[in-house]
Amino acid sequence: MTQAYVEDDLARLVNVARTALTRWDIPTDADVELLNLSENATFAVADPNTRTPLILRVGRPEYSTVREVDSELSWIEALAGDRAVLTAPVRRARDGSRVVEISVPELPAARPCVVFGFVPGKAAPEDADLVSYFRVLGELAAKLHGHAQSWQPPQEFQRRRWDYETTIGDRPHWGAWEDGIGVGVSERKLLQRLQRVLEQRLANYGTGPERFGLVHADLRLDNVLFDGPDAYVIDFDDCGWSWFMYDLAACLTFIEDRPDLPALTTSWLAGYRGVAPLEDEAEAIIPTMIMLRRLLVLAWIGSHAETPLAKAEGVAYTEGTCWLAGRYLGGDGLGI
């Protein structure tokens, strides 16, 4: 996987951003402010022509194709058009394209760039009551899943598949979990046992259309903006085909060891069932989905060891994964 950036690349990425803006007829001297630098570089842009704030996302090279990014935007536009959930409007370039590839001499690898309209709202406060917010996440997930099951994607639609093989199996999108930071002999032995159990249980659960479909795949609180009673879903960068219950596991990323995990999952399920029915088997598979996500993120950390997030989590994430694996394999279902 090509590294999205290195620490010295910020000025170069700003140059990519300003070059991209010309494709949307926005002057290159527009105010451009970096909002986030992780897998993508996300900028706030003040369009001097309209005084309308915009969001520009500069993607990492050699990860998602233009077709894949355009498919992401196709779903976002369909969600907005069908009023399934609130989300950021997609702004098309001068030639009608939703995605443009930009390279500059100092960063020659082409990067897919997209522009979104600004949406109101803020992320949940750090001291928020997560239980109540998780009910909202469950409601949003149910609405997204319902739309995915009824929507007919265009023929050219193409997004990643997040199944066993492509998460922790032989064709992992984010690398091998064995390369996680601090994975030694004893950790590898325990997590290999976990992997075998996950493979069997996921195979038994299956990928029927009532269980597997198009999902957001990163529906964490960080990716929802709240404006009074309204909740805007953003950052569909990882959306693709997976189990619907994977969306619950994704929103628990980095907090799977909280003592209130049972309350969080119960609240999410209540929110979901307030919108759509959910079979008992879906609830039973949740601990398996959580551990699948945990191993997948362990792989991500190992393949992105240079990033601030990986440096901050590091060995502690591996230790936490092993602790959770012990609980899961011990049969307590992570207490849920």
The pLDDT confidence band at residue 199, using thresholds 50, 70 and 90, is very high
Determine the average pLDDT of the residues in 46-51.
82
CB distance 335 to 287 below 8 Å: no
Residues 195 and 307 in one domain: yes
pLDDT value of position 81: 97
Same domain, 255 and 322: yes
Residue where a domain terminates, one of 117, 150, 179: 117
- The pLDDT assigned to 216 comes to 98
Q: Which residues pair with 240 in a beta bridge?
A: 160, 215
25 and 139 belong to one structural domain = no
What is the rounded CA–CA span in Å between residue 248 and residue 47? 37
The reply to whether 205 and 96 lie within a common domain is no
pLDDT band, residue 8 (cuts 50/70/90):
low
d(Cα 14, Cα 203) in Å, to the nearest integer? 45
Q: Report the CATH number that the domain containing residue 92 is assigned in CATH.
A: 3.30.200.20
- How high is the pLDDT of residue 28? 85
- pLDDT computed for residue 43 by the predictor: 95
Which residue carries 């609180």 as its tokens?
A: 221
Whether 166 is in a domain gets the answer yes
Q: What is the pLDDT of residues 277-336, one digit of tens each?
A: 999 999 999 999 999 999 999 999 999 888 888 889 999 999 999 999 999 999 888 988
Note the pTM of the prediction, 2 decimals: 0.94
Residue 6 pLDDT level (bands cut at 50, 70, 90): low
Query: In the numeric block, which tokens belong to residue 230?
Result: 């309204």
Clarify whether residues 112 and 167 are in a common domain.
no
Alpha helices by DSSP H, 97-231 = 130-150, 164-167, 185-205
The answer as to whether 63 is a domain residue is yes
Q: What is the mean pLDDT of the chain?
A: 94
Q: What is the pLDDT averaged over residues 158-167?
A: 98
Listed range (9-13, 61-65, 224-228, 230-234) with the worst mean pLDDT: 9-13
CA dist 311 and 84 (Å) reads 38
Domain extent for 62 = 7-117
Q: What is the pLDDT of residues 207-262, one digit of tens each?
A: 999 999 999 999 999 999 999 999 999 999 999 999 999 999 999 999 999 999 99
pLDDT at residue 188 tops 80: yes
Residues 328 and 208 placed together within one structural domain of the fold: yes
Whether the pLDDT of residue 3 is over 80: the answer is no
Separation between Cα atoms, residue 257 and residue 313, nearest integer Å: 14
Contact in structure between 276 and 142 (CB atoms under 8 Å): yes
pLDDT for 148 beyond 70? yes
Return the SS3 of 272: helix
As a whole number of angstroms, the distance between CA 181 and CA 184 comes to: 9
Mind listing the pLDDT tens digit for each residue in 294-308?
999 999 999 988 888
pLDDT at 2 over 70: no
Q: What angle do CA 69, 73, 77 make, to 5 degrees?
A: 170
Q: At what angle do helices 308-329 and 286-303 cross, to 10 degrees?
A: 150
Residues 92-106: what's their mean pLDDT? 95
Q: Is the pLDDT of residue 193 over 70?
A: yes
Q: Is the pLDDT of residue 1 over 50?
A: no
